């Protein structure tokens, strides 16, 4: 389920570029020529609206205490080249992770702060006890909603310019909104009720909650869905393909390739469901969580009820017991769940890597691709290696987030603020891991010849069923007899048949053992893999509610 009706998410498809456009940057301030820079900016499409570096005329009547800098002065702070980016997510891998940018970027944080501030002012206008903020007309409500719906990179740049002066990011949003609303006669009368009785963390915790929820619902969980479905497809397609198991890396009782893939699909899907059921929490209780300022200003208003109504109207569950901050326990739970999903994926990546090494899978090649810079015959399993590596980087960040965020000195310290700005790093590397694994899966081709050859050379795996039947019929020392037959010796089909023929067991039991081969000794593996169709139909796009 997506966010409730109280929140209108912006249309990512209608926006175009994350980077400052060259049209409004002076050529002599660039470290490259105009043509090169222009080509770079054009090549990096992103879900943000086209940015014009010109200052919107409606914002030039700034709050008197804020001196807005010129666009050209500020634009250089946003220059970014994929070759100069410190983080590979913003450089080499930008095209694969850019779908997260509208939510997890500085732009996304500012946008959701704007949304929360405006929604709070609208909520105040609906409280009968707050007579100083009368109910807005439909036209005024539409004006405020448009500030949310039409918020773009130009607007975010204006907020950042104000922040250069205020040195306070949330206050900069408040001043930006006051500037924008000065021209509206109805809203101009209640400008000071922007940010009324709020601490910055009232705004931030809800903005972070909305960022996470939107990013998970619209990017991360759908990507997990695709990955699970892709593994389900392998499982069902190869449900009956026999494969030698390798416990401890040694030949073991046969299985089917499909059943082993089904194990991963089931595990990943289970964690996906757990993740989608985690509650996203928010608070709106003022400086230390007690509604102190609220009650002094309006003692007759039931502020805890108002806060709960407001938070839940945004599609966020309400946390009534807080300090200055929402305690972030739900975030730790979210990040731990994603970490477990990623760890299961690492297990999958490593097993597929091993199966490729054994020849159980071939990799479909593309014309022009290089497998190894020096060995032309090689096609390296780089997609699964990339997936494993990015899961590791993501989980390292999530580990710190999940252990640090629930801990805050007394009623508040600021360590969470800087750490929360890195949520997008873990999500970005996770997304990259999922896409790498999907790319690797798309290249896989089952090599049944190699699977059959392994099974044909390991008749010793039938020692298990033979000694188990011997136990049933009271043959003494069955394990020891099979140990003597198989351990350290080459075991052929003929030796196995000779041993079975000499057993003192019922004829029907002997016949069943003689009919058994490494290819058919797979138990319920095929049925388990085929039953995964039920799981596949349950991968139905579960989202955070």
Strand 281-282 to 361-363 pairing: unpaired
Sign of CA dihedral 163, 167, 173, 179: negative
Which positions are catalytic?
248, 372
For tokens 């699970």, name the residue.
228
Residue 315: exposed, middle, or buried by beta-carbon count in 10 A (0-12, 13-18, 19+)? buried
Q: Would you give the end-to-end CA distance of the chain in angstroms?
A: 5
- Which residue intervals of 195-299 are DSSP H helices? 200-215, 221-237, 257-276, 292-297
Distance CA 266, CA 269 (A): 5
Cβ atoms within 10 Å of 489's Cβ, excluding its own: 10
Nearest to 184 by CA among 221, 141, 224: 141
Cβ atoms within 10 Å of 283's Cβ, excluding its own: 26
- Which residue intervals of 373-488 are DSSP H helices? 382-404, 415-420, 423-442, 448-456, 463-472, 478-486
Distance CA 240, CA 446 (A): 12
Find the angle CA(116)-CA(120)-CA(121) to the nearest 5 degrees. Answer: 120
């Amino acid at each position: 389920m997506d966010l409730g009706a109280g929140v209108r998410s912006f249309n990512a498809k209608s926006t175009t570029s994350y980077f400052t456009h060259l049209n409004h940057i002076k050529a002599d301030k660039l470290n490259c020529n105009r043509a090169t820079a222009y080509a770079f900016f054009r090549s990096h499409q992103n879900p943000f609206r086209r940015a014009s570096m010109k200052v919107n005329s409606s914002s030039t009547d700034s709050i008197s205490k804020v001196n807005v800098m010129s666009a050209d002065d500020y634009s250089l702070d946003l220059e970014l080249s994929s070759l100069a980016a410190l983080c590979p997510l913003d450089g080499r891998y930008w095209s694969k992770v850019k779908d997260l940018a509208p939510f997890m970027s500085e732009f996304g944080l500012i946008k959701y702060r704007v949304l929360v501030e405006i929604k709070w002012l609208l909520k105040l206008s609906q409280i009968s006890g707050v007579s100083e903020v009368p109910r807005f007309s439909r036209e005024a409500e539409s004006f405020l909603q448009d500030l949310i719906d039409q918020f773009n990179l130009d607007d975010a740049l204006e907020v950042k310019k104000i922040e250069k002066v205020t040195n306070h990011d949330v206050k900069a949003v408040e001043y930006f909104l006051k500037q924008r609303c000065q021209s509206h006669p109805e809203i101009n009368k209640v400008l000071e009720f922007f940010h009324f009785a709020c601490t910055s963390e009232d705004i931030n915790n809800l903005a972070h909650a909305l960022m996470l929820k939107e990013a998970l619902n619209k990017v991360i969980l759908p990507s997990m869905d695709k990955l699970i479905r892709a593994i389900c497809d392998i499982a069902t397609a190869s449900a009956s393909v026999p494969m030698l198991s390798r416990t401890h890396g040694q030949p073991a009782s046969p299985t089917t390739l499909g059943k082993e893939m089904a194990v991963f699909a089931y595990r990943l899907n289970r964690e996906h469901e757990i993740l989608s059921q985690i509650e996203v929490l928010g608070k709106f209780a003022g400086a230390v969580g007690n509604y102190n300022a609220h009650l002094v200003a309006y003692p007759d208003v039931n502020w805890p009820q108002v806060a709960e109504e407001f938070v839940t109207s945004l599609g966020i569950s309400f946390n009534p017991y807080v300090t200055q901050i929402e305690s972030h326990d739900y975030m730790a739970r979210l990040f731990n769940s994603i970490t477990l999903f990623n760890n299961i994926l690492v297990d999958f990546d490593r097993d597929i890597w091993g199966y490729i090494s054994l020849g159980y899978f071939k990799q479909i090649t593309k014309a022009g691709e290089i497998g190894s810079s020096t060995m032309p015959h090689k096609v390296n399993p780089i997609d699964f290696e990339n997936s494993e590596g990015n899961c590791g980087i993501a989980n390292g960040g999530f580990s710190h987030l999940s252990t640090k965020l629930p801990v805050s000195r007394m009623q508040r310290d600021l360590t969470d603020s800087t750490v929360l700005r890195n949520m997008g790093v873990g999500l970005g590397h996770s997304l990259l891991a999922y896409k790498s694994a999907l790319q690797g899966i798309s290249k896989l081709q089952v090599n049944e010849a190699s699977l059959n050859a392994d099974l044909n050379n390991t008749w010793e795996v039938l020692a298990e069923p033979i000694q188990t039947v011997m136990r049933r019929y009271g043959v003494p020392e069955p394990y020891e007899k099979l140990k003597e037959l198989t351990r350290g010796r080459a075991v052929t089909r003929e030796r196995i048949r000779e041993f079975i023929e000499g057993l003192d067991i019922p004829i029907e039991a002997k016949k069943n053992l003689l009919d058994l081969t490494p290819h058919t000794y797979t138990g319920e593996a095929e049925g388990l893999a085929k039953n995964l169709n039920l799981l596949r139909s349950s991968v139905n796009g579960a989202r955070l509610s």
